[in-house]
Structure 1
Amino acid sequence: MAVFVLDKQKRPLMPCTEKRARLLLERGRAVVVRLAPFTIRLKDRIGGAVQPLRLKLDPGSRVTGLALVRESEICDPDTGVVERLEHGLWFGELAHRGQAIREALETRRHYRRARRARKTRYRAPRFLNRTRRAGWLPPSLQHRLDTTLNWVQRLRRLAPITALSQELVRFDTQALQNPEISGVEYQRGELAGYEVREYLLEKWHRTCAYCGATNVPLEIEHIVPRSNGGSDRVSNLTLACRDCNQRKGHRPIEDFLQRQPALLHKIQAQAKAPLKDAAAVNATRWALLNALKTTGLPVETGSGGRTKFNRTRLNLPKTHALDAACVGAVDQVRDWNRPVLSIRATGRGVYSRTRTFNNGFPRGYLMRQKRVHGFQTGDWVRAEVPKGKKAGVHVGRVAVRQTGSFNIQAQAGTVQGISYRHCRLLQRADGYGYSFQLKPEMEAARRAA
């Protein structure tokens, strides 16, 4: 993984290799600024030549892929076509905590309802005079927007980023509903098949609409046959296994399912309905696009169908980080086989100083201070235990206790009962937990095994 480099005045320079960073640190020419992402600062250099870098984003409901690439252009000597070449420098996967925020708000709502339902003093209801500002998003969705923008700004402070790329929409629904639209490039190329197939796989849950078969090859099937005037719009398409597709043939669906009226009604209703959660996801991505435009950098957008087309054409493994590298116009991707920094949003704790039973009454009390012996929950520490059952070196996120016996959440698992005397601070808590994933082909092999 590339190492981020800052000059003497903390301005970003071009990332360097791990070997070069190790030599700079050994010779005393640089100091470590951060461990995740690993960043060094030069002591004897101000400014320097930089190359164009692009930060690419693949927003997701739970994980957002991040890819920092260096762009260049190469000319094919045979055809004379100029291709866009990308060199992968740094990859990350940002895991959001939107579900945890939603559950916390749900718990708070139950507490408030319980307080109002008790036989205590009367509390008059508030008037419905509360309004929401323009562009308001639910807290769980606003969290995804804020954390993504936070990491965009962080990486801009660590690397000379000159452009941004974002997967704006999962599918170009306008072009799918109107395949005759002119001026759309991928409607005349290979991408049209990937866009339509991926949309149908998501919409029909990768099952046969007629028999419910899964884990079998599926074919695109016209609900109203083309011989009877059916169109190629996605509202007239579904998925079927080969046997069902052959048995239906050119018959109308009403004739084919005349003995199954419930299934007929379900298919007709689902064909007209859009994808679930499409409104929420699209609202977040459009808000992210508008926020990225305020950075002043050029922003490139692409659809999810094109991302999958690029990844399949380049024969890359399926990961969130590599999906981000395949966003937009991509001809070749090199140096993609790098470790991935897993970033998990953990928050900065809670304000409540007690835990509760299921009925909402308090159960025990928490510490009144955050730091214990100079450490606080979320710090990245290194514990060297000389002897005992837990002897060894443990590196990870610490959870403090008032007694001074801490828990360390290492990559191999949680180690309990580590004394603060054996801990050394590596990086202060910043609301995120960090770990390194295996290389994509090693991770794919492990999952297959």
Structure 2
Amino acid sequence: MPAEEVSQMLTSNGPSPVFDPEAYAASFQSGVVVDDPHHDFARLRSQRPVHEGTVAALIGVPEGLSRRPRLRHEAPHFSAFSYETVHAALQDHETFSNSYYEGVTTDVFGRSILEMVGDEHRRHRALIQPAFGPGRVPWWVERWITPAVEEAVDRLAAAGEGELSGELCHAVPLRTITSSLGLSAAEANEFSGLYQRANPDPESETRRRARLKAVIHRIAEDRRNQEGDDLMSVLVASRLAGEHNDDRSLSAAEIESLLLLLMVAGLGTVWRQLGILLAVVLSEPEIAVRVREDPEALSRAIEEVIRWEPTDPVLRRLVTRDTVLGGTALPTGAVLELNLAAANRDPERWDAPDLFDLDRVQRRHVGFSAGPHTCLGTHVARAQLQLAATILFDRLPKLRLKDSGPPPRIIGLEHRCPTRILVTC
């Protein structure tokens, strides 16, 4: 996920400032707001599974930041739209390599697992994967997720109204991930404003990034001297397996890059997916009743929304050798864009795929990617969605969309998000 994900973010303390999701979504597409690209995705998928060109170009919108020179502008681009081709490419990480991202995010994260491949990726991911596994979900729920949700819902209850995208959906993952690392509320707020896109001040951004790295370094040193029960302690105590059956501790730079990536990815994905979930549920009275009354219905709604509207529709891979995918020849050095959103609505795999259906027979989707680079925090993300929605609806049984405000829409191409979700309690 690119660093610009954390743009125009909101603070975790107190009422959020006015947030403009349309400006956020448009900033990724040269100022154009993409409302609903699914019709175009379906048209292209029905023609053939793999097309030459980028997803943006194929649906006729400006490509904006997705075609910066550093993102291999000069390479031939192809886009996969069917579930079969997208899933196959995600599984074949040798032919379709995450080395596409090499150097793309280094200036923000340092060298991170996002751009690593093969054994290097396996060894680094193995360090942090156990902390995000199913068995550790209760640890996250008790220590960080529940307090974050309760704090956000308390503010909404006291105010009697609010805007869910900023005051709940963003606040919960921000508080969760930063608290798990030992950052204070003030330091978390510094992070939330780290990557501003509107009229950025490069010098200020550099200072903020240096400040955050200094905070991470300080906390890491504290945990080296006295171990705690948090994510930073896990990393400090971890041993990185070497190539020759040796191991070592992570360097300060490795801890910094991993944590910066975790904070950006963990914040953006949950913020937008929770917002999409609540926008759908509150807009459909029948779904709202079922979700409020039945935890199993809520679990099904979460899985369905990840399939139906994944927050990051497009991933990119570097083609490392001449190959054929979906009947299309791809040359070495080409960039393949994987359209997860189109794959997740492939009628060859799901009946009536454009319908948000709580009773759908659930099948594996690619909403959180697949293969070696499957989203690291899927279990924790699902827990945040489940707990946030459960506590919100239990504590605020009269919660509904404001009659006087515009209903929320889901917008964006590079990153899907809801417009403002104005509610009364």
Q: Same fold (TM over 0.5)?
A: no
- Bigger-Rg structure (1/2): 1
When the two structures are superposed, what TM-score results if normalisation uses the length of structure 2? 0.22
Point out which structure has higher relative CO (alpha carbons under 8 A, 6+ apart): 2
Please state which structure has a larger fraction of its residues in helix. 2
When the two structures are superposed, what TM-score results if normalisation uses the length of structure 1? 0.21
